[in-house]
Amino acid sequence: MPDGYATGRATKQSIVESAATAFAQKGFYGASLRSIAREAGVDHSTLLHHFGNKTALLLAVIEWHDAQGMPTELPEELTAEYVVEGFAEQAARNAETPGLVQLLSVLTAEAGAEDHPARETLQKRHDLVAGVFAWMIMQQRAKLPIDDPLSPAERAAFLVGAWDGLQMYDALHPGVIDVPAQVRRMLREAFGLD
């Protein structure tokens, strides 16, 4: 039985990686589920068995992409510098896959509709990042005199929104701004490191 689970996980991983490439190159609407299945070496029905629909597959790709940037081990003490560099590195990874970032931006905008199937997943994604930012802001404000009229939660929401906005701007105006550098700058300022 465990071999079947391992095979199923490997199949899902292969589908997600093929989908990431297809979505990045052809966009959400340009990439077909049949071609993704073919590239992954599985039948269309196998892809549908694992993911159900294209939106669910895209969400799995986004989750996989985000996981690539997650550290395998955390330091004993989580410092503001560590958090800044970790998220700046994630912004740099995002810059390497502009097609996926553009899809995420579109999906995030569409998920503004209350009945959108990706809404809850994307809200949780934002909440996770904002939660890390707010926690670090609180830690830093306990140590440093940081003058900020916004609460830690409000500043964290602002940072997440600004990062998303920077990525959308970069999609429309490639290379005009250095998104990873701006993410680093915004976080350093919010954490009182500058």
* Token pair for 179: 């998104």
Q: Is the pLDDT of residue 44 over 50?
A: yes
State the pLDDT at residue 126: 93
Q: Determine the average pLDDT of the residues in 19-23.
A: 84
Q: What is the pTM of this model?
A: 0.81
Return the higher-pLDDT residue of 117 and 12. Answer: 12
Residue 4's pLDDT band (cuts 50, 70, 90): low
Q: Determine the average pLDDT of the residues in 144-156.
A: 95
Angstrom distance (rounded) from CA 121 to CA 96: 23
The angle formed by the CA atoms of residues 189, 191 and 194, to the nearest 5 degrees, is: 45
Residues in the chain: 194
State the pLDDT at residue 110: 83
Burial class (CB in 10 A: 0-12, 13-18, 19+), 37: buried
Rg of the Cα trace of the chain?
Answer: 19
Top mean-pLDDT range of 19-23, 65-69, 103-107, 122-126? 122-126
* Token pair for 106: 């579109």
Report the mean per-residue pLDDT for the chain: 88
Angstrom distance (rounded) from CA 131 to CA 8: 33
φ/ψ of 75, rounded to 5, equals -70, 160
Q: Decide if 28 contacts 106 (C-beta within 8 A).
A: yes
State the pLDDT at residue 3: 59
Q: Decide if 21 contacts 7 (C-beta within 8 A).
A: no
pLDDT tens-digit series, residues 62-107: 888 777 777 777 778 889 999 999 999 999 988 888 877 887 888 8
Q: Is the pLDDT of residue 141 over 60?
A: yes
Angstrom distance (rounded) from CA 122 to CA 104: 9
**Domain residue ranges in the chain:** 1-58, 69-194
* Token pair for 102: 């553009």
pLDDT tens-digit series, residues 47-64: 999 999 988 898 888 888
- CATH fold of 1-58, please? Arc Repressor Mutant, subunit A (1.10.10)
State the pLDDT at residue 129: 94
State the pLDDT at residue 26: 80
State the pLDDT at residue 1: 44
